[in-house]
Structure 1
Amino acid sequence: MDLQDWFDAFRRQVRRNPWADGLREAALTGVLGRWTALLTDVVAKVCEELGFRVAARGQTSRILPISRQEYLGLDVLAFPAGESSWWVRPVMAFELENRTRVASIAYALWKVCMVRVAWGGVFCYRKDPDQIGELLRILTEVVRAVTPSMDLLVVVGTRCRAEDFPDGFFRAYRWDEDYQRFRLLLS
């Protein structure tokens, strides 16, 4: 499985109710706390459907000997299925940032980059698509500074495309190590 497979599974899952209508409504009304809660459920469900065990905000997990809703302060962590050890390493890490400050989104990406996982993702929100370019430029600075050894995905939801939900709403960008920048992940 790669980032494209994961994002395709995300797109299939986000079309399903109860999430589809709630996410679109939260985006249109600007209720980003609700948007993040629903999106957390979607991301967790995608990971579960792909065969991973999940620890996510709002869902108590017993993957590790300490029962928590989230581990390491990250919104969603995915762990390999079938691992018998109590101290298992996560394989995916996600942050879902509902604050619109670029510094908050950059911090979310930095947090994901600090965890040793195969790949990580950050979901964030921009009101207008013309804000995405500047956001990606700043996120590029974060990645270059910390040089993570993982695949990275940044998914940006834009309110102005909410009528095209989910296809026009969520745009995914993958870190291109060779070119040192984020590139649109084509579906």
Structure 2
Amino acid sequence: METPGERWKAAFMDIVHHHENALPLRDASLNGNLRKWTTELTSIVSSSCRALSWEVAALGHKLEKLPVSREEYLSLDVTAFEKKWENESGGKRWPFPMAVFELENSKADEKIAYSLWKVLCVRADLRVVFCYRKEAEKAPDLIRYLRDEVINSMSIEERDELKGEILIVIGSRNDSETFPYGFFKWWSLNQKTGRFEIK
């Protein structure tokens, strides 16, 4: 049985593979326009969540189902909820998110670490941080930094209490000729070892 992360990744890759979605994201990456990269990525991540029948809140994608309507909840870039929750006749008015996403366009390691810490503070089945490195060979250094600074700051007991999947997705422009396939590197946290493993 596929995990929520596996289902979402397949939906994401299916959507980003389409020419009309791929070109603006690839061009923003090649030009180093990380603000545009974030805008395009927000749209693609939101669409991939909707493809799984999740309700989405993100900049430009207001969610009306919760008692307080917002584009962003908890200052997270994208928040997704299962569609089946009820809120009109005594059902769940404030459900926990199914998935949360941070789309970090800063090159600063500390800001990426903050984004990881932020999603870890939220109860969700899937937590994803997107970030960017100009060269793909810099990704392992960033992953080690995130492990050392964020994951290793937790006790084993705290790490064991984390439920759900945690993914780091690193885009890099030197793999843009194979976009979207070689462009994104997917890392998953093994909560038992406290290490990120490439998927």
SS of the residue 2:11 aligns to: helix
Q: Which amino acid aligns with 2:45?
A: V
**2:55–2:63 contact (8 Å) kept in structure 1:** no
Residue 145 of structure 1: aligned partner? 153
Q: Distance in 1 between matches of 2:126 and 2:34?
A: 25
Change (3 A) 1:178 1:87: closer
Which of 105, 108, 111 aligns to 1:101? It is: 108
Paired residues in the alignment total 185
Question: Percent of aligned pairs with the same residue?
Answer: 39
Q: Which runs of 5+ in 2 are unaligned?
A: 88-92
3-state SS, counterpart of residue 181 of structure 2:
coil
1:174 matched to 2:174? The reply is no
Corresponding letter in the other structure for 1:39: L
1:9 matched to 2:23 = no
Corresponding position: 1:49 with 2:82: no
Which of structures 1 and 2 has the bigger CA Rg?
2
Report the equivalent of 1:155: 169
Q: Which residue of structure 2 lines up, in the alignment, with residue 124 of structure 1?
A: 131
Match of 1:73 in 2: 75
Tell me how far 1:118 sits from its aligned partner.
1.2
C-alpha displacement at 1:88, in angstroms? 1.8
Root-mean-square deviation (Å): 1.3
- Kindly state the Cα deviation for residue 149 of structure 1 after the two structures are TM-superposed: 2.8
Output the TM-score relative to the length of structure 2: 0.89
The residue type paired with residue 177 of structure 1 is Q
- Structure 1 runs not aligned, ≥5 long: none
* Counterpart residue number, 1:115: 122
Alpha-carbon distance in 2 for matches of 1:112, 1:132: 20
